[in-house]
């Protein structure tokens, strides 16, 4: 049995960590393997990172697993990704239950193949009473449609007179998003060096810290995670204030 390496815990951890898991295809290409091998290896990284976050005590972890735009990839790749998702759910449910992790999913879930959707809903239900950590899978997810959807539902409520336009503020708007009861991500990690959001949590990321690493997702392990978390713990989050104000706030001497 392999013994887990003890984790040195940074002082300040994100309450919500979100990861854009990118680079599976390149990982495989470098090894002259089919892209699916990269996705398979990527699923192993998911397991390691979920376990590490649970051990560290990070309450919310969101993983961008499949974007709305990813539906336009070659049919065989999409099918293989759906199979991997199915296998992941089947294989990991006991681990999730044992570690009291609640599984959540955000995105256009109705577009998932029926057998995947059924197993997903079953897993969401089976883990729904867990409270130690929430693992949010972004599946068939697109932030612009999430926002447009919210706007449409708000407009419908206004038209019916259930909601009045002056009531529609940031908080009300956020309550119409998939993430209504999930805090905004404090830290967003993107692997494989790309410097973009790719339609991920556009509204929710307004004040998120970003960490971009050249490491490809299948190679992203505990050590890499800790490096990102250490980096995050050194950042000063100002939310528009000045550095001095933040300092005074921390020392409790702010008037």
Q: Exactly one of 9, 51, 59, 70 binds ligand IPE (CB under 6 A); which one? A: 70
Q: In the complex with ligand IPE, which residue's Cβ is closer, 40 or 176?
A: 40
Strands 133-141 and 187-190: unpaired
Applying CB under 6 A, does 198 fall inside the site for ligand IPE? Answer: yes
Contacted entry of Mg ion, ligand IPE, none for residue 67, CB cut-off 5 to 8 Å set by kind: ligand IPE
Q: In the complex with ligand IPE, which residue's Cβ is closer, 55 or 219?
A: 219
Which residue's beta carbon is nearest to the bound Mg ion?
22
Contacted entry of Mg ion, ligand IPE, none for residue 188, CB cut-off 5 to 8 Å set by kind: none
Q: In the complex with Mg ion, which residue's Cβ is closer, 77 or 184?
A: 77
Contacted entry of ligand IPE, Mg ion, none for residue 130, CB cut-off 5 to 8 Å set by kind: none
Chain position carrying tokens 């995050």: 232
What whole-number distance in Å separates Cα of residue 137 and Cα of residue 105?
5
Q: What is the DSSP string of 69-90?
A: GGGGS-HHHHHHHHHHHHHHHH
Binding segment toward Mg ion, per CB under 5 A, in 17-25, 133-141, 165-173, 240-248: 17-25
The helix (H) or strand (E) run that includes residue 2 is none
Q: Are 121 and 85 in contact (CB under 8 A)?
A: no
∠ CA 122-138-105, rounded to 5°: 25
161: which residues sit within 8 A by CB, 6+ positions away? none
Q: Exactly one of 16, 17, 20, 22 binds Mg ion (CB under 5 A); which one? A: 22
Longest Cα–Cα distance of the chain, Å, equals 62
What whole-number distance in Å separates Cα of residue 235 and Cα of residue 135?
24
Please count the other Cβ atoms lying within 10 Å of the Cβ belonging to residue 19: 27
Q: Are 199 and 108 in contact (CB under 8 A)?
A: no
Q: In the complex with ligand IPE, which residue's Cβ is closer, 154 or 216?
A: 216
Q: In the complex with ligand IPE, which residue's Cβ is closer, 14 or 38?
A: 38
Binding segment toward ligand IPE, per CB under 6 A, in 6-14, 112-120, 188-196, 228-236: 188-196
Binders of ligand IPE in range 4-43 (CB under 6 A): 20-26
| Residues forming the site for Mg ion (CB under 5 A) | 22
| Residues forming the site for ligand IPE (CB under 6 A) | 20-26, 64-67, 69-70, 81, 192, 194, 196, 198, 217
């Amino acid at each position: 049995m392999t013994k887990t390496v003890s984790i040195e815990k940074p002082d300040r951890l994100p309450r919500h960590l979100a990861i854009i898991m990118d680079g599976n295809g390149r990982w495989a290409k470098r090894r002259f393997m089919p892209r699916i091998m990269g996705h398979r290896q990527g699923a192993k990284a998911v397991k390691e990172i979920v376990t590490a976050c649970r051990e560290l005590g990070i309450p919310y972890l969101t993983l961008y697993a499949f974007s709305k735009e990813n539906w336009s990839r070659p049919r065989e790749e999409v099918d293989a990704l759906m199979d991997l998702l199915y296998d992941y759910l089947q294989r990991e449910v006991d681990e999730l239950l044992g570690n009291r992790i609640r599984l959540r999913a955000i995105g256009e879930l109705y577009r998932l193949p029926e057998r995947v959707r059924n197993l997903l809903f079953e897993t969401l239900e089976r883990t729904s009473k867990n409270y130690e950590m929430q693992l949010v899978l972004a599946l068939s997810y697109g932030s612009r449609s999430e926002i447009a959807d919210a706007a449409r539902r708000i407009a419908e409520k206004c038209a019916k007179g259930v909601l009045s336009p002056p009531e529609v503020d940031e908080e009300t708007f956020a309550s119409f998003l998939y993430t209504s009861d999930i805090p905004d991500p404090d830290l967003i990690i993107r692997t494989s060096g790309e410097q973009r959001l790719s339609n991920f949590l556009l509204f929710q990321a307004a004040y998120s810290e970003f960490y971009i690493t050249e490491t490809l997702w299948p190679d992203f392990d505990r050590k890499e995670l800790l490096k990102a978390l250490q980096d995050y713990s050194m950042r000063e989050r100002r939310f528009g204030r000045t550095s001095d104000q933040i300092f005074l706030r921390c020392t409790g001497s702010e008037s």
